[in-house]
């Protein structure tokens, strides 16, 4: 969601260099799994929502460049109907971290809210889907709002497109 890690200094201050990555996934704070909620029953499973919105695959701020610490590739995959995993990769075999999605909700024609865990913290991300990828609009990690309405909290920086990478 951001091809420009330098633009997200407020996120960097919060989680070091990985802070801006949360924007990319970025992907709060519901302790119960969304799969048990009425919204999940009406909107579909994690698997259905991610697949329907084109959010399974490989994404990067710049797919023309190789994966690196400054340009991680986000590999999003479904584990089962109610769980997905996102691996941030700095190379073909070097994983930076993993996030586990345990809830997904369609909140608009091109907006998805995902919830899960990152390290020991709960997160909630809202992604606006586009034909060639997605943009994070809202990021909450461990109850702390890092971005709202596509802007990094405490700055004028905006979150950029995470483009879908063609098969490598």
CB atoms under 10 Å from CB of 121, counted, come to 17
Among residues of the chain, what percentage have pLDDT more than 70?
74
pTM of the predicted model as reported, rounded to 2 decimal places: 0.75
Q: Which of 14-18, 49-53, 54-58, 135-139 has the lowest mean pLDDT?
A: 14-18
User: Would you place residue 43 in the very low, low, confident or very high pLDDT band (cuts 50, 70, 90)?
Assistant: confident
* Mean pLDDT value across residues 156-166: 92
Q: Pairing between strand 133-141 and 121-130?
A: antiparallel
Which of 37, 17, 18 is closest to 107 using CA atoms? 37
Q: What is the span of the domain harbouring residue 75? A: 5-164
User: Would you place residue 6 in the very low, low, confident or very high pLDDT band (cuts 50, 70, 90)?
Assistant: very low
Which of 154, 151, 146, 95 is closest to 124 using CA atoms? 146
User: Would you place residue 163 in the very low, low, confident or very high pLDDT band (cuts 50, 70, 90)?
Assistant: very high
Q: Is the pLDDT of residue 147 over 60?
A: yes
Domain count, the chain: 1
Label residues 42-79 b or e (16+ Cβ within 10 Å = b).
Answer: ebbbbbebbeebbbbbbbbbbbeeebeeebbbbbbebe
Cα angle for residues 108, 155, 144 (degrees, 5° grid): 60
Q: Is the pLDDT of residue 11 over 50?
A: no
Dist. CA 148–CA 137, nearest whole Å: 6
Specify the pLDDT at position 152. Answer: 95
């Amino acid at each position: 969601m951001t091809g420009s890690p330098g633009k997200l200094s407020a996120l960097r201050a919060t989680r070091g260099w990985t802070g801006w990555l949360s924007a990319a996934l970025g992907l709060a704070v519901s302790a119960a799994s969304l799969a048990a909620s009425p919204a999940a029953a009406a909107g579909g499973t994690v698997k259905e929502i991610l697949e329907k919105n084109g959010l399974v695959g490989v994404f990067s701020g710049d797919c023309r460049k190789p994966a690196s610490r400054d340009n991680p590739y986000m590999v999003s995959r479904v584990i089962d109907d109610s769980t997905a995993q996102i691996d941030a990769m700095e190379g073909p075999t070097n994983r930076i971290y993993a996030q586990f999605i345990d809830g997904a909700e369609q909140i608009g024609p091109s907006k998805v809210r995902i919830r899960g865990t990152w390290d020991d913290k709960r997160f909630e991300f809202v992604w606006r889907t586009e034909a060639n990828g997605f943009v994070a609009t809202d990021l909450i990690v461990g109850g702390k709002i890092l971005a709202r309405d596509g802007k990094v909290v405490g700055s004028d920086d905006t979150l950029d497109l995470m483009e879908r990478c063609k098969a490598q």
